[in-house]
Amino acid sequence: MAMRNQVKKIGKNTAIYGMGNVLSKLAAFFLIPIYTRYLITSDVGILVLLEILEKFLITIAPLGIIRAIWRYLPESRPNDQSRILITAFMGTVIINIVILTTIGLNYKLLGPFFGLQPDNFKLVLIVLLNIFLSLGGRFIQSIWQYQQKPFYYVILSWVQFLGILLVTILFVVVYQWGLWGVLLAKTIVLGIIFVFSGVVILFEHLSFPSLRLYLKLLRFGAPLILLAVVTPVLTLSSRGFLRLFVPLEEIGIYGIAYKFGMLINMLLVVPLQRGWIPLMYRMGIEKKSHAIYRDVLFYFATIGSVFFLIVSFFSQPLLTTIAQPEYLSGAFLIPIITFAYLINGLRQFFIAGAVMKDRTSRLAVAATVAIITNLILNYFLIRSFGIAGAAWSTLISYSVLSFLVYLTSRKLVAIDWGFLRLIKLTVVTFIIYGVVIFLKELFPQQQIIISFTGLVLFIIVLFVTRILGTKEIKGIKALVIQLKNRI
C-alpha cells in the first residue's frame, strides 16, 4: 500500500510552505560571509546578542493568536471568519504597540547588556521597530496557510529574502554602515511588507473587531506563548550566560556555528510545522487519524536523521568555504546543535492531544519546567565548559521539553507513536555517525569520500534491517514516478 493520501498532502504542504520559510531565513545564512568579512568579530558578537531580543520578542509578539485562529476557523461560518481575522490582527497590533513602546523607553538600560557603546544604544530601538513590523508579513502568511494559497506565501517570502539580502549588501558593503546597515536593511523591507499586509487584511476581511472574541482567542493562545517562547529561550538564553563567562569573540564564533546547526530547523523542522499544524487542527485527534500521526512522525525522524548526518559530515568543509578561519574552532558544536533541533521537532507531533482537547495550560507547565532546566544548565555548563556547555545545555533542554510534552498529551489521548522503530532508527544513525567520524580521523585526506560512503551505507542499512518497510518503499516509488511524470 502506497503512502496514505493525507501523508502525501502533508508532504506537499511541507515542501511548499517550507520553501517560503527557507527563503525568509536564507538571507541570514547567505549574509554570513558579509558579516564575517565586513564586521569585526566583536560586532558579530553584538549582532548575535541583539538576536536574543529580536527572536525572543518576535516569538511572543503574536501572543499565540495564530494558533487560536487555526483552532477556531474550521468551525466558523464565512462571516465569522472575517471577524476572527480582523479582531486577531487589530488586537495583536495594539498590544504590541504598548509592549514594545514600554520596552523602548528603557533602551539606555538595555544597551550595555548587548555590548553597545552609548552612541549605539539606539540600535535597540531599531530592533524593537523591526519586531513590530515583522507582524504584518507573519500574519498575512498565516492566513494564506489556512486558505491554501501557497503561491502568495512563497512570493512574499521571496520578496523578503531578496529585499533583506540586497539592501543589507548595499548598506554594509557599499555604504559601510556596519551594524546600523544590518538592522536598517530589515527596517526598510519589513516596513514595506507591513504596509502591504495591513492593506490586504483590512480590504479582504473588513469587519468590526470584538473584544470578547479577542479574549476567547487569547485564552486559547496565551498558554501557547510559553511553549512558543521555549525555542528562543533555549536557543538564546545561552548567549546571555556566554556574555558573562566568555569574550565577545567566542560568542561570535558560537553564533556562526549555531546558524549551521539551525539549518535543520530552517529546512525541515519549521517547514514541517508550517504544513503539519494547520492540517492537524483540520484532522482532529480521532482514532482514525492516529496512523497518520505515527507515519508523519516516522518520516520526519527518518529525513531528520539523514539531515543530521549530512550536516555533521559536511559542515566543516562548508564553514571553511564561507567563513573566515577563526570561526572553524566552533565546527565541533554543529552536530550537537543539529541533533538538539531534531529532538525539538518531535514536540510538534506530541502536542496533538493537549491542543485538540483545549488543554494548552498543561503545555505551558511543561514549557516552564524546560525553561527553568535550561537556565540552570546554562549557568553551570557554560561556566565550566564555555561554548561547548552552551550547546550541550540546548540539547538536554530540548530533550526534556519534548519528553514532558509527550507525557502531557499522553494523559489526554493515547497514541501509538511506534517508538520501537524510532529507537532502531536512532541506533543505526549513531552507529553510522560514529564509524564515519572515526574513519575521518584515521584518513583525513579521504574525508569527502568517507562521508558520502557513510550516507549511502545508512540508507542501505535502513532497508536491510526493514526499518524502512514495504509501505515506505512503495510510497517512495510512487513519489518518484509522480515526479518523473511531471518533469
Q: Please list the pLDDT of the chain residue by residue as tens digits (487 residues).
A: 444 555 666 666 666 666 666 666 666 667 778 888 888 878 888 887 887 788 878 878 887 888 888 888 877 787 788 899 999 999 999 999 999 999 999 999 988 888 888 888 999 999 999 999 999 998 998 888 777 777 788 888 889 888 999 999 999 999 999 889 999 999 999 999 999 999 999 998 888 899 899 998 888 888 888 777 787 777 768 878 888 888 878 888 888 888 888 888 877 887 777 777 777 877 777 777 888 888 888 988 999 999 999 998 988 777 777 777 777 788 889 999 999 999 999 998 998 888 878 788 888 899 999 999 999 999 999 999 999 999 999 999 999 999 999 999 888 888 889 899 999 999 999 999 999 999 988 888 888 899 999 999 999 999 888 888 776 666 555 544 544 454 3
**For residues 238 and 394, is the Cβ–Cβ distance under 8 A?**
yes
* Among 254, 259, 329, residue whose Cα is nearest residue 45: 254
CB atoms within 10 A of CB 324: 16
What's the length of the chain? 487
**For residues 308 and 263, is the Cβ–Cβ distance under 8 A?**
no
φ, ψ (nearest 5 deg) of residue 40: -70, 160
Question: In this predicted structure, what is the pLDDT of residue 480?
Answer: 46
Question: In this predicted structure, what is the pLDDT of residue 131?
Answer: 94
| Amino acid present at 348 | Q
* All cell numbers assigned to 363: 503545555
Question: In this predicted structure, what is the pLDDT of residue 9?
Answer: 61
Residue 4's contacts (CB-CB under 8 Å, 6 or more residues apart) are 291, 292, 295
In angstroms, the Cα distances linking 307 to 83, 303, 342 are 42, 6, 9
DSSP designation for 173: I
pTM of the model: 0.72
Question: In this predicted structure, what is the pLDDT of residue 2?
Answer: 44
* All cell numbers assigned to 197: 499586509
CA distance 118 to 6: 55
Question: In this predicted structure, what is the pLDDT of residue 3?
Answer: 46
| Amino acid present at 455 | L
* Among 80, 91, 72, residue whose Cα is nearest residue 356: 72
Question: In this predicted structure, what is the pLDDT of residue 481?
Answer: 54
> Distance between terminal CA atoms of the chain?
24
**What does 242-288 look like in DSSP terms, one character per residue?**
HHHHS-HHHHHHHHHHHHHHTHHIIIIIHHHHHHHHHHHHHH-S-GG
